Amino acid sequence: MDVREQDKIDKLMVQELDGTQNEWGWCKSKLGANAILAVSMAVCRAGAAASEMPLYQYIAKISGHPTDKFVMPVPALNVINGGSHAGNRLACQEFMILPVGASSFKEAMIIGAEVYHTLKTCIKKKYGQDACNVGDEGGFAPNVQDNNEALDVLMDAIKKSGHEGKVKIGTDVAASEFYNAESKLYDMDFKNPDSAPEMKKTAKELMEVYKGWLAQYPFVSIEDPFDQDDWEAYKMMMDEVGKDQQIVGDDLLVTNPNRIKKALEVGACNALLLKVNQIGSITEAIEAATMSQKAGWGVMVSHRSGETEDSFIADLVVGLRTGQIKTGAPCRSERLAKYNQLIRIEEELGPLCSFAGANFRHP
């Protein structure tokens, strides 16, 4: 087989060599998604080399995007960690900054780094030196007591860094982590064994919490605001705030084309979090992104909590023209590898690329 036949090779691995299925499609339980993906990515890189193209240009070609004009993504930098990623009492897993007011990817990284280091100073002053330790994805995990406190510290850092107005906020709530399927309640203080009854909220009450945040802080993106199977709650959120906010499905969609189809039917969200090792092959990742983009959704390319220094997703986000990438804080080499590759791509492309900026949802 020719290495430039990405879809044929992926199909051979997924459907013939593995061949396992569940209710949502090919589940790869025989060979494993990570093993299949490693080969799929190697084939993609070999295909780019055989075509004498940079990887991002080759990905653009095989996914049906223009190969002469590119869009650099807005980075969603995870600067405060909570949820299951940290030992504090913060319910939300991630608070991110999106420097949408930058003029280039490089400037976005400069702004992001300045806010990040100002945040460290603010945290050190308020919580002490120990609070400056970083989590899995390079974000800080200070001993904040609730989500609003974390947001206030973050807003203080944005203002003190001099970038107010240029920087917006996003969050990955990862609400499945604190949802109780029996009581159908969301425990906003789930890491406290003596969580007060008022901290346990119905989907409607949690929606009011989110609406309070949207009124008070410059939010542009909310990921996994409800449990992964709480389709009705997602639809409620889309009906109420979906016009102005990006509602991202991660646990909800797991980069699976069949779950994306259901979300489109229900009207559950308006953006996909694209994780290549969640679906397990480059062809299926491209299919998921294309399906979402055709539906008018945003697509945020994402890393995983346990990462390597491989920078494939940096080329992927440029090739797929998704306009946004989430790959941790401006800290830790396995996160910076992606950001540095994006800076290199931007320098290489020069006038052949533009920065997504405020249009990151539909670049």
Three-state DSSP state, 346? helix
Interatomic CA distance for residues 248 and 91, integer angstroms? 18
Residue 120 falls in the annotated catalytic set:
no
* Catalytic one of 275, 284, 287, 334: 275
Phi and psi, residue 326, nearest 5°: -120, 110
Structure tokens at 17: 């060599």
* Catalytic one of 137, 177, 284, 334: 137
**Tally: H helices and E strands in the chain:** 12, 16
Residue 107 falls in the annotated catalytic set:
no
DSSP 8-state code for residue 72: E
Interatomic CA distance for residues 45 and 53, integer angstroms? 10
Spatial contact of 138 and 329, defined as CB atoms under 8 Å apart = yes
Between the CA of residue 58 and those of 14, 51, 63, what are the distances in Å?
22, 8, 9
Element (H, E) at 355: strand 353-355
Q: 104: buried, middle or exposed (CB in 10 Å: 19+, 13-18, 0-12)?
A: middle
Three-state DSSP state, 77? strand
Nearest to 58 by CA among 309, 318, 296, 333: 318
Please spell the DSSP secondary structure of 15-49, one letter per residue.
IIII--EETTEE--TTT-HHHHHHHHHHHHHHHHH
Spatial contact of 63 and 6, defined as CB atoms under 8 Å apart = no
- Catalytic residue list: 137, 275
